[in-house]
Amino acid sequence: MFLIPWIIFILICYVLVKSIIGFITGKQIHVKLELRDSRFSSELFMALLVIYVIVILGFGMIYFILSFQGIILVEYGELRQPTLIGSVIHSIYFSGVTLLTIGYGDISPVGIGRLLAITEALIGYVLPTAFVMKLFQMGERSRDE
C-alpha cells in the first residue's frame, strides 16, 4: 500500500517532464505550417493550453498524493484536514494558482511542498517563453521553405 502512491508519483512526474520537453522540442507537435500573413498558430496555442492543463493536474495530483504522507498545504495559516474531495480540489486549485503565478496566499505549501511550488512556478514562467520561441522558429522555417 505504501508503494502505490510513489509509483503514481513517479508516473505523474514522467508525464509532466515528457509533456514539457515534447512541447519545447516540438517532437510531439506535428503542425503543418501555413503562416503566410499571420505569426499566430492556433495549433501551437492549443498545445500550450493542453500542456498547462497537464501540468496543473499533474502537480495537483502530486500535492494530493503527498498530502497522504503529511500535510503540505496550509489554508489561511491553519492546518486543516479536508475531506478526500476537498483535498483534491485544494491541491488542483493551489497548483493552478502557483503555475499561473497568481499566488493569492490563501493556501501555502509546507515542507517539500515549497520546493514543488517553486518548481511549478518556474515552469509557469518558462512555458510562455517557450511558446514565443516556438512561434519564431516556426516563422523562420516557413520563410526558408
Written as one letter, the residue type at 27 is: K
How sure is the predictor about 95, in pLDDT bands with cuts at 50, 70 and 90?
Answer: very high
Radius of gyration of the chain (CA): 18
Mean pLDDT of 73-93: 83
Of 89 and 70, more confident: 89
The answer to whether residue 62 scores a pLDDT higher than 70 is: yes
CA separation for the pair 91, 97 (Å, rounded): 10
69 lies in which domain range? 3-16+41-138
Question: Is 22 inside a domain boundary?
Answer: no
Q: What are 34-53's pLDDT values in tens digits?
A: 444 455 677 888 888 888 99
CA atoms within 13 A on the CB side of 119: 16
C-beta separation of 124 from 100 below 8 A: yes
As for how many domains the chain has, the answer is 1
Mean pLDDT of 77-85: 78
Largest CA distance in the chain: 59
The answer to whether residue 145 scores a pLDDT higher than 70 is: no
For the domain that residue 51 is a member of, what is the CATH number?
A: 1.10.287.70
Question: Is 27 inside a domain boundary?
Answer: no
Question: Is 144 inside a domain boundary?
Answer: no
Question: Is 124 inside a domain boundary?
Answer: yes
Question: Is 143 inside a domain boundary?
Answer: no
Question: Is 34 inside a domain boundary?
Answer: no
Beta-strand ranges (E) seen in the chain are: 73-75, 107-109
Question: Is 120 inside a domain boundary?
Answer: yes
Question: Is 33 inside a domain boundary?
Answer: no
Please give the pLDDT value at position 35.
Answer: 42
